[in-house]
Amino acid sequence: MATKLDDAGLSSDFVKRMPYSIWAIEELEVGLQIMRANGIADFMERKLTSEEMRQWGWHGYMTNRYPKSFPAKKLFEKDYHDMFSDLFRA
């Protein structure tokens, strides 16, 4: 990663200063519900300030830190089913 940053002319500590995540839509739906209930800062800070939690996937982090949020409400269940019902039948 550091080599790619250097090749692009970016600082090697960029990822530390500007952490990012790629979320599966199912995890994002749950994460947004937890953030709404607990605040964005609380949700993000707990993951980003812990060296151990930074290495965890989002699902593991959320189930560990916010166990009462599961099972989470499925926000777009009907839309999801409509979009993929033909694929599921195949």
Q: Cα separation of 57 and 38, whole Å?
A: 19
For the record, the structure tokens of 79 come out as 């839309």
Q: What average pLDDT does range 7-35 have in this prediction?
A: 85
By the 10 Å C-beta count (0-12 exposed, 13-18 middle, 19+ buried), 80 is classed as middle
| Domain ranges within the chain, ordered by starting residue | 24-89
pLDDT tens-place string over residues 35-74 = 999 999 999 998 888 889 988 999 999 999 999 887 777 7
pLDDT averaged over every residue in the chain: 85
pLDDT at 31 over 90: yes
Q: What average pLDDT does range 16-38 have in this prediction?
A: 86
